[in-house]
């Protein structure tokens, strides 16, 4: 049932503490696992990069956290081996399987998982149709909205579907894949992700 899938998906939804670069750790450590702390409005309007330390949160395979960057939700989620193995078989059902639209996929993420690391996905959590927030339905099992579901994101507003790489299925209201934001992993600490700066922009 669709609702069951949605509810199951919500089990995986977690909210992370985030920090503006340069202020990481300043107060964030005192926040509980389920707390959320957004950068100041001034920092967001300036487009400040946001740092997320995934070592301080329980990012189990199949789980997702949400950071805020430039006023947008940015999902960071972990795909398990079974979910990764399912991606190749979906290619024939996708609108832009190779992520050829550069507006949605920067060059560093133009690969099957649309990510820097296969298991870690980073996506802007806004449906490319009319801006709703898609739900994570990670289970590889039939859903009411898709009898061949292999895990992914389902937008309840107008039923757009995306796979676990954020690639949109063909014939959906959503015209494009979910956006991959500029981001990179800190070189000497792979648990720290900087959202807002692409790998090629690191100095």
DSSP per residue, 12-55: TEEE-B-EETT-TTTTGGGS-TT--BPPPHHHHHTT--EEEEGG
- Cα 140–chain centre separation: 18
Residues 6+ apart with CB under 8 A from 182: 106, 195, 196, 197, 198, 201
Nearest to ligand FES of 117, 158 (CB atom): 158
Q: To the nearest whole angstrom, how small is the minimum distance from the Cβ of residue 159 to ligand FES? A: 6
| 29 neighbors 16 (Cβ within 8 angstroms) | no
Nearest to ligand FES of 18, 104 (CB atom): 104
Nearest to ligand FES of 18, 160 (CB atom): 160
Residues at the interface with ligand FES (CB under 6 A): 127, 129-132, 155, 157-158, 160, 173-174
Nearest to ligand FES of 74, 127 (CB atom): 127
Q: To the nearest whole angstrom, how small is the minimum distance from the Cβ of residue 168 to ligand FES? A: 10
Q: To the nearest whole angstrom, how small is the minimum distance from the Cβ of residue 152 to ligand FES? A: 13
């Amino acid at each position: 049932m669709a609702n069951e899938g949605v509810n199951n998906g919500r089990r995986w939804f977690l909210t992370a503490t985030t920090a503006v670069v340069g202020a990481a750790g300043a107060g964030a450590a005192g926040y509980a696992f389920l707390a959320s702390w957004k950068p100041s409005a001034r920092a967001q309007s300036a487009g400040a990069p946001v740092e997320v330390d995934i070592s301080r949160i329980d990012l189990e395979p199949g789980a997702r956290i949400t950071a805020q960057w430039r006023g947008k939700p940015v999902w960071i989620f972990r795909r398990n081996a079974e979910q990764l193995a399912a991606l190749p078989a979906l290619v024939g059902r996708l609108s832009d399987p190779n992520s050829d639209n550069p507006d949605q996929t920067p060059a560093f993420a133009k690969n099957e998982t649309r990510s820097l690391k296969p298991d870690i996905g980073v996506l802007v959590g806004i449906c490319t149709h009319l801006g709703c927030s898609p739900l994570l339905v990670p289970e590889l099992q039939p859903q009411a909205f898709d009898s061949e579901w292999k895990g992914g994101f389902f937008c309840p507003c107008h039923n757009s579907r995306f796979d676990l790489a954020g690639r949109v299925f063909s014939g959906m209201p959503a015209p494009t894949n979910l956006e991959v934001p500029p981001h990179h992993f800190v070189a000497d600490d792979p648990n720290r992700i900087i959202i807002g700066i692409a790998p090629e922009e690191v100095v």
